[in-house]
Amino acid sequence: MRAKMLIKNNKYLGSSGFTLVELLVAMLILTVGLLGLFETLSVALRRNVENELRQKAVQIAEDALNTAKAQPFSNTSCVSVAMGSGVFKNISVQTDVVDLAAAHSRTNQISVRVSWEYRGNYYEHQSVSAVASD
């Protein structure tokens, strides 16, 4: 009888709480949620870096075009590109000058193509402008 009284008076007997299975299920749900969150952060970081690289490529191309436009018309056939320092490691800059001479005008088309690689993907930006003689 005394044993029955001890069991009845035990505060853990019939108390509500978490079982081991409930704890494991809760941990699994939390883990899946955190993995989704980390993947979202990873994608956001990757897109941010891609946009920074694209912005740098646009800046390089626009600087090259502005430099070419600032030169006298006779010097537009040789456009130099200043890379500067930055994030780019695998970058290629190609400039082309095409003579668009019409009957009585002298016009050159300058195109600057900036290409780069990031995480196994190749990207490219091209800017084109026309320069005419005075």
Q: Where are the beta strands (DSSP E) in the chain?
A: 91-99, 107-118, 121-132
Tokens of 72: 């006298």
What's 19's DSSP letter?
A: -
Own/partner pairs for 6-15, CB < 8 Å, 24+ apart? none
User: Tens-of-pLDDT digits for all 134 residues of the chain?
Assistant: 555 555 555 555 556 777 899 999 999 999 999 999 999 999 999 999 999 989 988 988 888 888 888 877 766 666 666 555 555 667 778 888 777 776 556 788 888 898 888 888 899 999 888 887 76
Letter for the amino acid at 18?
A: F
Tokens of 83: 């890379």
Tokens of 33: 């949620």
Domain boundaries, the chain: 16-132
Residue 123 β-bridge partners = 116
